[in-house]
Structure 1
């Protein structure tokens, strides 16, 4: 074990823009054998690794040895090398909190083998391509004005004044109850416009279908989202509808006010539109 290889590593990294927090400072020791570098990385005590193939902080700490493998500290004044493209990644075990790492140079990149404390395989990477980045580039990337910002979705009540929209309504399909004309689909609505009927001010279409069976969620999501996409594309492509409003109705697409998790099929339509 050679602790001198990693002494001052995280202080040097911080000086050139790699400001790792305590959870990501997992490199504990390193060994060198010719062109190979071996390292031991660990998560801080109490860190929950459940739910990850390999915990992101643990994998990132394993990658901190790359600068050492190149024969120079990653925190030098020159260019650092960052992960760019991964090839041949396989995961053999989950939930590891400590890793033994072997890094070997492969062309312009490296290969990695990750094992647990008993030597049992956890993951491997056949090739990880690296790209150089200078301290100036790191500084520019971090200087966005939003580094300490916290973004989240919040539902805020808003009183809306009662307004009566004076417009002719129409509906596409039979699954939505609105007053006015009713057409089987967009093709029928377009045919009516072709025959000289005036275009209503509001046209409503509902995708608020019952939730899909668990085994059919993927195919239903693809089918319903494709149908919604085709409808919107057809609507936007017809200049006669430019002054009309298309109202797309979903149900269970977004969870709010303590509601249950959304229907993924409906969520796909909501997100698409």
Structure 2
């Protein structure tokens, strides 16, 4: 992981959700007991359960629902969760292009991720390719940084270049699946910020919002204007060069994440077997 600053680790008496050793251990014990009785074929190591536990604020029924949805999604979306090999040309191109990049530094103790929705050529890459690459990066980023579990993520969607060739393949079914993933992944999406927004963005966003919970709808914010709008969302200095910041280019960030995913190549192969039966 890059040298992330302002990190917020959860201590033994963590102050994010009043987390204590006793509360955490009891919740994990109850969760593992439940997992032993259902057919989700889920990972049961603490490091993989804690993101769900913290994301649901130790509410066991919410944790169970979210884990169930997550492992059903892994079963039902093979286009996203099978053959997750970063060396595949279609994935390697997107990762190196920097279409989905967690930044090097946090803002307000939250991980910041920039998603460049139209940086790819829709004739070469599909939305499923982008989703697959993005979730691979998100998996690794969350494993290596507790702050994504505890304080959550600020997602900046750069809409620059979005045209008909991009929109025409965004079917309602695909949008529904993407929103389902946002709401059931093991990370806390705290802000969904759209920059370089076209004037007709609300037409597309209304479809997305139709599948969102009320809580998630309240986290969506649209910004009209150029990349300088990103400076109103997070500290300018932590942004890539292309956005007027100081923390590397999208190319360098893309290359970093490609090398990082290569380190997890065996993990991705093994992870495919964990899904609902």
Scaled by the length of structure 1, what TM-score is found? 0.20
Higher strand fraction (1 or 2): 1
Higher helix fraction (1 or 2): 2
Higher relative contact order (CA 8 A, sep 6+): 2
Larger Rg: 1
